[in-house]
Amino acid sequence: MPNKVKNFLWRACKELPVKTNLMRRKVLAEDICCHCNLKAEGGFHALWDCAALSAIWEADTNPELFAALVWTIWSQRNQLRTSNKPYPLTQVTPAAKQMLQDFKQDKGEAGMGVVFCDSQGKVIASLAEKIQLSPSSDEVEALAAVRAITLVMDLNLPSFIVEGNSEVVISALRKEEESFSSFGHLISSIKHYLYSCNCISFSHTSRSGNSVAHSSAKLARDIDEFSVWMENVPPQVNDVLLADFG
């Protein structure tokens, strides 16, 4: 459940700034509900009891959707109160369902970023990709290494260093024996590439030392699928790059 919904429910249990409370605190002069224009807008009425909400509450809900609906009903009331934009009550259920869906999607996706630099630290290429979140960050890192090496093969670079945040992945790449970790298959395919190329070395960097790749990874969540920037970094990452190498 999204945090804003949890926080809201917690607050709703205590005290919402509904009209009855605002009138009691002399913020408002009246407390009539703006949906039904019949009853006072107390917490129970605003979120549940108002006749205008009956269509929303008649439909089937599960606990998750219930919470999202309560949150959306309140934000709809707030929007009507504070802006001129129309927000029909028929939009409440679709908006609540969309919010839940977005939240689930956010949880299931991660960004991956790789930056290639020459020995002077000049950026040769960078890539960002949105990937399904794997159980461990080491797997994401191993996947990033596969992507990096595939790209570098395409670019025909004379030699390069792969820098990674994950010490586990980097040491698995350096070892000769097979890796039996959850990302062992990725390590094997990387090593397969290495047979045709003697020009790759691996180094482990901390998350802070690798902030350009890390920022690209964050950016990747917002891009469509897969992007490569040659001799440059994603425009949004430029500030980080300047801080890193500047």
Burial class (CB in 10 A: 0-12, 13-18, 19+), 97: middle
161 in contact with Zn ion (CB under 5 A)? no
- Tell me which DSSP letter residue 237 carries: G
Query: In terms of CB distance, is 50 or 115 closer to Zn ion?
Result: 50
Tell me the window of 30-38, 54-62, 90-98, 189-197 that interacts with Zn ion (CB under 5 A).
30-38
Residue from the set 36, 40, 65, 228 that interacts with Zn ion by CB under 5 A: 36
Query: In terms of CB distance, is 18 or 170 closer to Zn ion?
Result: 18
Query: In terms of CB distance, is 47 or 50 closer to Zn ion?
Result: 50
Tell me the C-alpha distance between 125 and 142, whole Å. Answer: 19
35 in contact with Zn ion (CB under 5 A)? yes
Size of the site for Zn ion (CB under 5 A): 4
Site for Zn ion in 45-84 (CB under 5 A): 50
Can you point out the beta strands (E) in 57-172?
109-117, 123-132, 160-164
99 in contact with Zn ion (CB under 5 A)? no
Is the CB of residue 130 less than 8 Å from the CB of residue 146? no
CB of 42 to Zn ion, least distance (A): 10
- Please state, in angstroms and as integers, the Cα–Cα distance from residue 81 to each residue in 51, 56, 76, 94, 145, following that order: 19, 20, 9, 21, 51
Query: In terms of CB distance, is 35 or 214 closer to Zn ion?
Result: 35
Give the residue among 14, 53, 52, 20 at the shortest CA–CA distance from 36: 52
CB of 95 to Zn ion, least distance (A): 19
123 in contact with Zn ion (CB under 5 A)? no
CB of 74 to Zn ion, least distance (A): 13
CB of 93 to Zn ion, least distance (A): 17
Residue from the set 12, 18, 33, 240 that interacts with Zn ion by CB under 5 A: 33
- Please state, in angstroms and as integers, the Cα–Cα distance from residue 83 to each residue in 19, 26, 28, 29, 79, following that order: 17, 21, 17, 19, 6
Q: How many helices (H) and strands (E) does the chain have?
A: 11, 5
- The radius of gyration of the chain from alpha carbons, rounded to an integer in Å, stands at 26
CB of 38 to Zn ion, least distance (A): 6
**Contact set with Zn ion (CB under 5 A):** 33, 35-36, 50
